[in-house]
Structure 1
Amino acid sequence: MKEFKKISWMMTAGSVLVICAAGCNSSDSGSAGQSSPSAAPSAGTASSAPPAATFPLKEKASFEIFSAAHDTKPQRGTEPIFAEIEKRTNVQLKLTNIPSASYADKFKVTLVSGDLPDVMDSDVASAKKYGMDGAFLALDDLLKKFGPNILKAIKEEGIDASLRAADGKIYGIPYFSMPGTTATVPQYRQDWLDEVKLKAPTNPDEFYKVLKAFKDANLGGKDTIPFAPQGYSNFPIFRAFGTDPRMYLNKEGVYQFGPALPGMKDALTFLNKLYIEKLIDPEFAIISKQQWEAKVSKGNVGAIFFNPGRTDFFTDVLKKENAKAKMVGGGALKDKNGKGELLPDFSLKGVMAISSKSKNAELIVKYYDFLYSPVGRLLTQYGIEGQSYTMKDGKPQYTDDFKKDMVNNPINLGIGTSKYFFTAPLPSLFKDRNEGMLVADAVETSKPDWTKQEPQLSFTQAEQDIVSKNLQPIMDKTSEYMIKFIIGQEPLTNFDKYVGELKQRGLDDLVKTYNAAYQRALKASQ
């Protein structure tokens, strides 16, 4: 076994660690979460996992979990679902809950000490890095022997490449969020659309027409802002022009740097037109999220591009002054061939990494494989049959009493905030958790346009050197030019000059590096 590289951990753990509890959602998502576009098996499907049949164990067992706690509702291990799973497995969890605000520091200190608990909550990048350093156990062999349900979910969710470290190995058991927590979708004031007798736009031309109608009708008064983005990349039009404001994986499975593609020049020409005609907030490039939120809350903004949970959030805020106010989600803006895409919700939120010194590794993999089984997924996502849900036509449905308080009841039961249990979401979960909310409609409207979830790449040291050297200078220059192009400070005749400057900063090497890392991850997953 490798010796732990403590010095490396001290220097880097604080800078790369990005820990967030699966249930620590902000007001962006409310009770919402995301399901992957790829359908999970139904709850009634028979499990193919022999390990699940080994539970309950004849003799009681236990293992430790070190995790970031939900900000306001930390899991205590005393909630009913914990007792139910313990009854079915005869495995007791020993929880160490660390407040989210201090978790990164505690994680780092624990790693440096070398005295690791059995399981540590980790972001994917840190698990891969410290796994290769020797802190966490490579799980490939254990997953093949004892984790068929886990491996099946990894394949169906399309996250294998994300989990693979630069050495091709997997160093953590994934956990997920519910659908809708990070997806970005166009949103419109439905009451404004009704006023101008238009529908939510489906292409850039219709988008322009809607914004122009909002402005001409002065629906927000003299300070009407038809569209309010936050930052140069926060527009829903890029994919309709065959580009993207970042490094992205295209339909052919190749990474491209969107801001340097020919389609970006057309997209910027379109955005410059919106800016000149005062159809977008002139402060888009400098406004903070807090300032943006306050501006939209005033009631003089007609459209945004943000988390779908904002449909409910802003509707509730706006209704205090205008009873007719309603923010609704829209689909992707399509290109001239009727094709359009929205960035997917990144359902993979982190992993539970097993210490390389743990004596319970086999038990832990078997335990999580049970949670990934159809029976386990019902327990962790719907709770206890007869109490929180009933089965109807082979599908789980929350009881009427449980649905009366969908904010607190899942938390009180133990299924609302705990990442220890959040396996790949069942297809029906999002709608059932958000019944009657605008976010449910927003996600259903946009989901057909979601692209494939992109992997969280892992780089070799040589590749990381290229990324560290080139990425930030390229992004800084991109940001500078994009804003100038949109507001007209830089003529679009200089677009090729701008691309040339990116190439001088190592763009070609950067793109090659991303593609090499991606192809390596794909090969390892085969």
Structure 2
Amino acid sequence: MLFQQAKKCMSLVLVLVLAIGLLAGCAKGTKEEKTGSNNAATDSITQPESSEPVEISMFLPSRLPEAIYDKDTMTFKTLAEKLNLKLDIESVVQSEAKQKFRVIVSSGDYPDVMAGTVSDVNTFGMSGAFMPLDDLIDQYAPNIKKYLVENKEAMAQCVGSDGKIYGIPMLSAIRTAMGYNIRMDWLKKLNLEVPVTIDDWHNVLTAFKTNDLNGHGAGDVTPLIFDRAWENYFMNFADAWGIELNGNNDYWMIKDGEVAFAPILPETKEFLATMAKWYKEGLIDSEFITREDTNNYHILNNKAGATCYWTGYIAGQNINSEVLKNDPNTNWQVIQPPVLKEGQDPKTYSQQSAIVGFSWAISSSAKNAEDIIKMFDYVYSDEGSLLFNFGIEGDSYEMVNGVPQYTDKVNNSEGGRVNWLRANGLQALIGIRQMPEYEAASCANEDVKAQLFNYIDKDYFYPYNPTLTLTAAEQEIYDIKMSAVKTYVDEELLKFFIGSRPIGEFDDFVSRVKELGIDEMTTLKKQAYDRYKSVAE
């Protein structure tokens, strides 16, 4: 009776959390036998003394609507066989999972394991839905200790605002995200060097505009294209000024060791003045704000000179038959991020975080937490990582010179490699370690692979700007004021960028942002950064 009353009270608390919309979250050896809480990572799992399988119920998001996960999905079936488990899996497609997750939690009747976004897991974990995992990890999870707890950056990005671990996150394989991509064949055609400084870029883009590069006359090529204005890709050139204007992170960044609201920095004024000049001169796609899928439109029609977009995707255009039909000499190459002055270190803020934004957690009412954390730990092991990145050896992959490679069964499967992987539970949105070998094996050829790893090999990354987690009380204050700030800043930055608002009014813009309460929001973020540093350093 007392348990039922407690569970009912917990449900009421969780419903209240849902109602006010709290989103506290954080946005990344040798095999030895495990004994006790030994720090050495291991693939070995001690089977239960009983021959009866351990029953674990779970809710998981599926990657494809036509392949909803169940107990017979390849990776989970293999996992159950390996660890003597009986998995009862409930799942919906990823696009519906967030809503379903919240409905299940608010009902108060939920399975042993739930997978969802890191922010949701932390929010509801701190409200009592999921148990803190710190002690269980210390006792039973050497692989999680090695790859998560000892990775300070990943830890700082996954813990709740109370500093506790409520979910085991997916770890990113590589840092590469968007790069600066240019038509190398057109540079060669015009006898131009690869641009290094912002002035070099201006000269190259001007040459792209004033020369006939695709046989349709000068001016037919758009020198610089940006995709998805609503995702702020057009702000990436701010790298040269040492700032990040990332609306997805509410424009917060760490500059000189302190929290800063990037839109009001003097570097932003300089960056916007330069972009407005380029836009006025026709060096930037004049319709990037409204044109849908502008990258594909320009690249497929042989009209793009340069872009800043996902490196692997752009590199793949070199073998795209539709692209090569228009120009068989097409050669897109990723180049170093721009700098203001010759000799400066090229860096970009565009990068993957240490963690992907998904994790799985243990229900606070689960009776078999020890078995579950051991399952989580196995998935983090080398053997478990191979399972969830490559599948089954001899079936979906083979080891070639010590490196896993997908078999023809996967590479030539109907629907393509990516769909086959997702349908069979590989790269499931749970606490796995994405492997760099997975990214490499997914590349179409050596050129794509070289470009994908180019920024990693040359260390072209600024320190990552984390999403700073607020407490529930801080978040409530933040949400009220930041909504108005964000809306105003989004609109005005775009106006400055295209020149519809003169840069001479930038100081007025800064004053208005301060009137809307940005100083108070900065104080909240500074407090959150102090907590982040206490874990990350």
TM over 0.5: yes
Question: Deviation of residue 158 (structure 1)?
Answer: 1.8
User: 1:418 — aligned with what?
Assistant: 428
Match of 2:445 among 421, 436, 455: 436
Q: Does the alignment pair 1:223 with 2:199? A: no
Quickly say closer, same or farther: Cα 1:58–1:456, change in 2 above 3 A.
Answer: farther
1:317-353 CA distance string (max 9 Å, x none): 4224333334332332234242232221134221102
**Preserved CA contact (<8 Å) 2:118 2:359:** yes
Q: Check 1:335–1:424 CA distance in 2 against 1; reply closer, same or farther (3 A cut).
A: farther
Tell me which moved more, 425-434 or 142-151.
425-434
For 1:9 and 1:475, the matched residues in 2 are separated by: 23
How far apart, CA to CA, are the structure 2 residues paired with 1:104 and 1:513?
A: 27
Contact residue 79 and residue 412 of structure 1 kept, 8 A: no
**Contact 2:14–2:127 (Cα < 8 Å) also in 1:** no
Who is 1:376 aligned against? 384
CA contact (8 A) 2:75 2:391 kept: yes
| Amino acid paired to 1:329 | V
TM-score normalized by the length of structure 1? 0.84
* 1:3 equivalent in alignment to 2:13: no
Q: Is the 8 A contact 2:388 2:427 kept in 1?
A: no
Please give the alpha-carbon distance, in whole angstroms, between the structure 1 residues aligned to 2:395 and 2:121. 37
Identity of aligned residues (%): 26
Q: 8 Å contact 2:323–2:330 — kept in the other structure?
A: yes
Amino acid at match of 1:268: L
Alignment match of 1:339 (pick from 312, 337, 345): 345
Partner of residue 46 from structure 2, selected from 39, 55, 66: 55
Map 1:81-480 → 2, pairs under 5 A: 81-154=75-148, 155-156=150-151, 158-176=153-171, 178-179=173-174, 183-220=177-214, 221=216, 222-230=219-227, 231=229, 234-246=234-246, 247-250=251-254, 252-284=256-288, 286-290=289-293, 293-312=296-315, 314-315=317-318, 316=320, 317-336=322-341, 337-342=343-348, 343-346=350-353, 347-391=355-399, 395-398=402-405, 401=408, 404-405=411-412, 407=417, 411=421, 414=424, 416-420=426-430, 423-436=432-445, 439-447=448-456, 448-480=459-491
**What one-letter code is carried by the residue in structure 2 that aligns with 1:69?**
S
| Local SS of the residue matching 1:278 | coil
Structure 1 match to 2:496 = 485
RMSD value, Cα = 3.2
Shift in Å, 1:173? 0.9
Q: Classify 1:409/1:164 alpha carbon distance in 2 versus 1 (closer, same or farther; 3 Å).
A: closer
Distance 1:225 1:105 in 2: 41
Offset, 1:7: 3.0
Cα deviation code 1:80-137 (max 9, x no counterpart): 5444433332223322121223323322221121101111111111111111111111
Deviation, 1:150, is: 1.1
More relative contact order in 1 or in 2 (CA 8 Å, sep 6+)?
Answer: 1
Alignment check: 8 A CA contact 2:60 2:115 kept: yes
- The verdict on how the C-alpha distance between 1:191 and 1:416 changes in structure 2, with shifts beyond 3 A counting, is farther
- In terms of mean alpha carbon deviation, does 230-239 or 356-365 score higher? 230-239
Q: d(CA) in 2 for partners of 1:412 and 1:177?
A: 17
Q: Distance in 2 between matches of 1:348 and 1:386?
A: 29
Relative to structure 1, is the Cα distance of residues 435 and 486 closer, same or farther in structure 2, using a 3 angstrom cutoff?
A: closer
Cα gap change, 1:176/1:95 in structure 2, threshold over 3 Å: closer, same or farther? farther
Q: 1:158 to 1:58 in 2, by over 3 A?
A: same
SS at match of 1:67: strand
Deviations 1:350-373 (A, max 9, x none): 110211111122211111112212
Aligned-residue offset at 1:452: 3.6
Q: Helix, strand or coil for the counterpart of 2:305?
A: strand
Quick one: distance in 2 between partners of 1:196 and 1:183? 29
